[in-house]
Structure 1
Amino acid sequence: MNRGKRGTVVLGRPMTTAAFAVAVCGLAVTGCSTTSASGVDMRTTPNSVSKSAQLDSPEARTALWNPCNIPNAAMGQTDLEIDSEEPDVVGMLPLEGARTCGWSAGTYDFVIYSTTLSPSDVHRNPHFRDFAGGTVGTKPVVKFRDDLVAKNQASCTAAFATYQGEIFMSVVTAPSTKPPKEDACVTLERTASSLVSALPK
């Protein structure tokens, strides 16, 4: 499944960093690193190089909430294929140190990023645009789009605050010469709403 501009393997099939993601912001956590693969530095904390290395360590990543722990019962309420689950996928958002998990629904991919980012980290990224407040189920979120996907794809990401930092949920549609049957943000909201009870507080 090819989902973007930069080639990586996601969900067991060819895919790019234009895959997906999800999220925005709440608790500011010092020392978080968000240097993008394109060279965009989203960090504002001092000693960012050493802190980036700390966040990207196996120990730091293991300490984050694991999106793959969402129960199959919750996943079964979505269009996602449970057997397509792939830990540590490389999605659209170039977030160093993030713990990720991805799934496929055939016409779109869905990725959750577990991070220590703050709201300001996300809003400063020049690739993210069209920010809008909203809700997914009962959770207040910030939705946004990006310029990382290919022209024949669409994406939408929602972010919300947790005890550790921001959780990102992202949808990227499969490449197509025809417009998707529904807006990517509608797909995201419909999919994520079924998972709200399994997400961290």
Structure 2
Amino acid sequence: MLRQHTENYRKAIEDKQPVKQLKKLKAEMFPMLMPAARFKDGREMEHLVSYTCLCQCDIDNIPSDIMEEAKRRVRELPFVVMYHVRMSGHGLHVYYFYQIPKCGLTTQVYQQAFIQGNERIANAIPADYDPAVGKANHGSSFCHDPEAWFNPDAVPLKVDMTLNAQKRSKKDHIANSSAVTEQMWPAAWTVEKVFAFAQDCVNKSSTGEFAHGNRNNYLVRLP
């Protein structure tokens, strides 16, 4: 039954049904959970009882020709416990565990766990994630995906509270829509500055953009 509901929902998207109608279909036909926290007597933040050490990452509009590579890269992240294709059929919904730091599990810890985990997942693909999913009471609907992946041996993400990572602005994208050539560089982008930036990326290769799984993120200067 879930398979048929999923097919019907995606057909409704293709038919450009109103957003209100799509929300109604999702609410009526698909199971939902709130993975980030436990609630009692309601699903507003005031009803939050405790956090679960689980976060979600929602990435939409992954091109079909790189979907399998995107899945492979996500599977290489040790803290990811599960993923399935999004309701739209054009993205991934990812779930991951995080470790409680010595300061204890607070709202600030959860926020850092969300940002740091989502940044690592999205940079691995690379693609943009939905920051709205960071709300602890944000629901996650399950759809049919015969290739959904589950990792029972996931190792929780270590949250670094010294980073104080900030939310991205709406204009701050992870994935570039097009290549930036040297002719397009601002005047302040000297060759020396760009080289220094590239060298810094390489120096951080164990965790940064040049880490294994991010091989397509590169900077090159042609003669």
Same fold flag (TM > 0.5):
no
Structure with higher RCO (Cα < 8 A, 6+ apart): 1
Tell me which protein shows more strand as a share of its residues.
1
TM-score relative to the length of structure 1: 0.27
